[in-house]
Amino acid sequence: MASPSSIDQIAERVERLLLRHAELQRTNALLAQQVAALTQERDSLQSRLQAARARVNALLDRLPAEPELPGTAETKDAP
């Protein structure tokens, strides 16, 4: 059978493992919160980017197909 000192050593290691486990659980929870916040921020930025692209595309659609260059109207009418 194990001596009392061995049992004490095992009990101490188990206590340290339990403390480490609790610490890792807290760290994991904090990291999960950060991931959730960053995911929400990413989704928001993607949405804003899509809206900005839509606005740019709408502005591009409003531009004339071929802008008339200065002086081209005069040369067309000349004989």
Domain span holding position 28:
9-59
Q: Please name the residues in contact with 10: beta carbons below 8 A apart, sequence gap of 6 or more.
A: 2
pLDDT at 1: 53
Is the confidence at residue 77, as pLDDT, over 70? no
3 falls within a domain: no
Whole-angstrom Cα distance, residue 24 to residue 16? 12
25 falls within a domain: yes
4 falls within a domain: no
- Average pLDDT score, the chain: 89
pLDDT at 12: 97
How many CA atoms are closer than 13 Å to the CA of 58, on its beta-carbon side? 6
Q: Is the pTM of this model over 0.75?
A: no
72 falls within a domain: no
When divided into structural domains, the chain yields a total of 1
Chain segment 35-66, per-residue pLDDT in tens = 999 999 999 999 999 999 999 999 999 998 87
